[in-house]
Structure 1
Amino acid sequence: MDDVTDPIWRSGPVRAALASGDLGAVVRAVREAHHMTLAELGERCGYSSSTVSRLETGRQPLRDVKVLRSLADALDIPARLLGLVDTGARTVPIPSPTARVKAILRPDEETDPMRRRTLLAGLGGLAGTAFLGAQATADPLVALEKVLLSPPDAAVPAAEFTGEVARVRALFQHGRYAEVTAALPRLLSAATGARVHAPTSRHAADVAELYTLSTELLVKVGHDHLAWTTADRALQAAYDSGDILTAATARRAWGMVLRRAGRAQVANRLVLDTAAELQHHAGHAPEHLAVYGSLLSTAAYTAAVSGDRDTAHTLIGEAADAARQVGDTNHRGITFGPTGVGLYRVSIARALGDPGAAINIATRINPAAIPTTERRGQYWTDVARAYHQWGKPEHCYRALLAAERATPDEVRHRSHIQHITHTLLRHPGSTGLPGLREFADRVGLAA
């Protein structure tokens, strides 16, 4: 294929990767746009997943013509976009590293630019004003973007603001993302106003929590350009608060954004340095251990996404040690404990291209014991993705229905769910999956 009119080449993240002059970033952005794991690409090209990871991240130079051609063929990348203009044996022109964009916004594991319909836009169109409230629009993210870039409104009284932040966090943990989106614009505007007008340390901590929550939501739905803004503001407010745990949770959110921007090594350095600082200064109180363990879990998943199997398993093992000391907890809006570590193990195995191992781990987790609805929904979508990766459509569909039962917002208008559902519809055995067409309609898959 040599068609640059395909929608994938018009997507912002892929265009940013092309403009960066970093061929590894281009390969990674296109791979993830196709919902392909490192292992799957490696199998197509005859390389290990760790080799593909090194090529994508620049740890191994991507100059060999044979390697470039195999990647182009496997990903349907027009040859000229990787500098493969001639068939003769000459050096491939590599753009100067000085042109590299510092923050390469790329599709996350859930993005499909060919049928991009965001969760939040879809919820607005599906449920209308009654679901999102009087401020509902075609895309509620427009309201968030506007408030993040506009002058602040008058601040909400501190006591009321604290209560509202706690309420929105609870909505998020119950998987009610559309309601969170409807509440965020007013609170974010108030948060900006509070920072401008010299907040107290307590109020600064609430502001940091709100921006951290906003980052988690935006990461979940794939709006990286806004998540970058909220993560930065979360960190600044956390420093204003002077609270080490508030700063740690804000840095963890920053790590997620950096990972999705293709900066996995920077992300893990930030997260692991934060964990070391927390371990040194914070002691072994349950809340401190919970935040510490969540940092290790995040770093483990980041390593898995990069194909670093040994580091991923080492870090999640250390997180498990912390989890055994605290049990299942829900501190600072972070669910952590033995169950939470188990959920991360499922995600890690899937990210490493081991769907059988992911399912084996998942079967040892009791979904009813998962502390929050949001994490329960994530558990079932991870199980569905693992079964899809494993080529088991019936099991995959059952897991998708379980995710929908846990929290409909977890599956509505999510790109990765649409991609899986589209594959199920095309499967020869789709007639044996009752209600699949109706499910496809509910998740916003265009006919």
Structure 2
Amino acid sequence: MLRSLPSKFGPSKERDDGPNRAIWDTRAVRDALARGDLGAVVRAVRRANNITLAELAARSNYSISTLSRLERGKQSLRDTHVLRSLAAALQFPPELLGVADPPRLPMHPLHPPAIVGLTRGPDEETEPMRRRTLLTGLAGTVTVLGVAPSSGVAQASDPLHQLERALLATPTTGVPVHLRQLDQQVTAARSMFDHGHYAALANGLPRLLSTATATHSSGTTNDIAATSALLARAYVVAAQLSVKFSHDQLAWTTADRAMQAAQVSNDPLIRAQARRSWAIVLRRTGHTDTAAQLILDTAASLQAQPHRDVNNLATFAALLSTAAYTAATSGDRDGARTLIDEAAHAAAQVEHNHPGAVAGFGTGSVVLYQVSIARVLGDAGTAIDTARRIDPASIRSAETRARYWSDVARAFHQWGKFEQCYGALRAAEHAAPDEVRYRKPIQQITFDLLQDPHSAALPGLRSFADRTGTRAP
């Protein structure tokens, strides 16, 4: 039976420490300085200035979840670049955070992590709630969407610019197509995401969404539920891509539209997919409690379905995994552990009761979430140990394989093992170059590696930085 998250799951409400008091005179800041708790200093200064986590995230280019972990001491706050960035965003002297002489994370030269450790591999994990088969190759994808995968040449700094203009400006008139053709186009878009061709997908999405909207509104088909489902699927892909690029405003727009279209589809799995996308956006923008409740309510509704096939059960496991990660971003270890254990049980049922079924989410997918959960909870060593249970070569989706290596890199970075971190970044680039070319967390890690005197001399690092668009310090 699905249980509700404990009340401590969500963040506490924040209060101002007095509008007429100087920031340095507040008790919270003085106490935090006395303890040497830099995260608490940042939190106290932010509160004294009446700045929300979302506002600080916009100023500093760090995610809300990262800032929350830094403030609560769940993630080390020692990096000079991070400290200076936060001081600049909050407009106070960086010396208050001891930037002049920051402690350095220890370096332990180990073997490069070309292989984290191989014992068993996961089933395919593309999109956890995907119910359709990927196209067999990119040739069909290019033909259907009319765009080509990105080459090794660096793309524009903001590949989502055209998509943003198309969504936020006056809608353009698309040409309706037959449902079968629209289904092919939406499936092609999903395939491009799963292959890690994010820039090419961004170029093709405006036309796809225009076509899907026109088909949905044309009135040429009596199956409004089917066209709504296809429209929702298209917007879910757009929302996922927006999240990948840390474009929360665009993710909010696309996920909201996916929710609206899915509601008319009468398909519980399409609704679950759209609600999951919406919950992820809510979590990223600071609405953690609402996100958690939405995910759990959706999972409970699937659990109550009288006929639960393999796709229903796989979707249920995916929702619980997302809920577990959401709990972890709030520092709720017990909630995260409980939910991921339930997800693992559901995924095991998928594999036991439906051997060989392509449901898009199995026990290997849960392990990937366990890596991410351990990392966001600050347990870098546990994250790496968990990653050793996965053979990355067995992950059939390039996007998922690149995301696996990105998580490994972030865990090694958190642990202070920069050489191993760089090796994992190169593996992520090999799996899907766009994964490292456009993701802000990867660019931040690359910048940190360039700043560190030990890792800055790693072979090929500066060329890697050029390919990711990271400026050398």
Q: TM-score, normalised by structure 2?
A: 0.68
* Aligned with 2:170 (options 133, 144, 150): 150
Pair 1:130–1:364, CA change in 2 (3 A): closer
Supply the AA of the counterpart residue of 2:418. P
Residues 277-332 of structure 1 show CA distances to partners (whole Å, capped at 9, x for unaligned) of: 0000154311101111111111111111111111111111100001111138654x
Q: Are residues 309 and 361 of structure 1, via their aligned partners in 2, closer, same or farther at CA, if it must alter by over 3 Å?
A: same
Aligned-partner residue type, residue 170 of structure 1? S
Q: Take 1:265 and 1:147, find their aligned partners in 2: how far apart are those partners? A: 31
1:374 aligns with 2:404: no
Structure 1 residue 312 corresponds to structure 2 residue 312: no
Identify if the C-alpha distance between structure 1 residues 79 and 360 changes in structure 2 by more than 3 Å, giving closer, same or farther.
closer
2:191 corresponds in structure 1 to 170
Q: How does 1:54-65 map to 2 (within 5 A)?
A: none
Q: Is the CA contact 1:40–1:353 (under 8 Å) kept in the aligned structure 2?
A: no
Tell me how far apart the structure 2 counterparts of residues 313 and 347 of structure 1 sit (CA, whole Å): 12
Aligned residues: 354
Alignment of 1:260-271 (within 5 A): 260-271=284-295
- Post-superposition offset of 1:156: 2.5
Matched, 1:291 2:291: no
1:309–1:73: structure 2 CA closer, same or farther, 3 Å change rule?
Answer: farther
Q: Which of structures 1 and 2 has the larger relative contact order (alpha carbons within 8 angstroms, sep 6+)?
A: 2
Which secondary structure does the structure 2 equivalent of 1:281 belong to? coil
1:433 aligned partner, one-letter code: L
1:42 maps to amino acid = R
Name the structure 2 match of 1:248: 272
Matched residue, 1:104 = none
The corresponding residue for 1:41 is: 71
For 1:205 and 1:413, how far apart are their aligned partners in 2? 29
Counterpart of 2:373 in structure 1 is 348
**Structure 1 residues 130 and 277: CA distance shift in structure 2, 3 A:** closer
More helix by share: 1
Candidates 176, 182, 203, aligned match of 1:182: 203
2:447 to 422, 429, 435: 422
**% identical aligned pairs:** 47
The offset of 1:38, in angstroms, is 4.6
Structure 2 unmatched runs, 5+: 1-22, 24-45, 76-82, 93-146
Q: Report the equivalent of 1:208.
A: 232
CA 1:329/1:177 → structure 2, altered by over 3 Å: closer, same or farther?
farther
Moved more, 145-154 or 377-386: 145-154
Q: What is the letter of the counterpart of residue 62 of structure 2?
A: A
TM-score, normalised by the number of residues in structure 1: 0.72
Amino acid at match of 1:150: T
Distance of aligned partners of 1:42 and 1:242 in 2 relative to their CA distance in 1, 3 Å threshold: closer
Equivalent residues in 2 for 1:398-409 (5 A)?
A: 398-409=423-434
CA root-mean-square deviation: 3.0
- Amino acid of the residue matched to residue 41 of structure 1? E
| Contact 2:303–2:316 (8 Å) recurs in 1 | yes
Secondary structure of the residue that 2:429 maps to in structure 1? helix
Q: Distance in 2 between matches of 1:390 and 1:258?
A: 29
Q: Give 1:181's aligned amino acid.
A: A
Partner of 2:420: 395
Q: Conserved in 1, the CA contact under 8 Å of 2:299 and 2:320? A: yes
Deviation string 1:13-54 (CA, Å, 9 cap, x unpaired) is: xxxx99x956455566668728956554334xxxx78xxxxx
Partner-residue secondary structure (3-state), 1:371: coil
Match of 2:218 among 171, 176, 197: 197
Contact 1:418 / 1:443 at 8 angstroms: preserved in 2? yes
**1:413, 1:445 within 8 Å by CA — same for their partners in 2?**
no
Q: Which residue of 2 aligns with 1:235?
A: 259
Per the alignment, in what secondary structure is the counterpart of residue 174 of structure 2? coil
Instruction: Name 1:8's counterpart in structure 2.
Output: none
> Does residue 325 of the first structure (1) align with residue 349 of the second (2)?
yes
Shift of 1:430: 2.4
Contact 1:301–1:312, Cα closer than 8 Å, also in 2: yes
Q: Residues 401 and 132 from structure 1, CA distance in 2 versus in 1: closer, same or farther, beyond 3 angstroms?
A: closer
- Could you tell me which amino acid in structure 1 is paired with residue 302 of structure 2? L
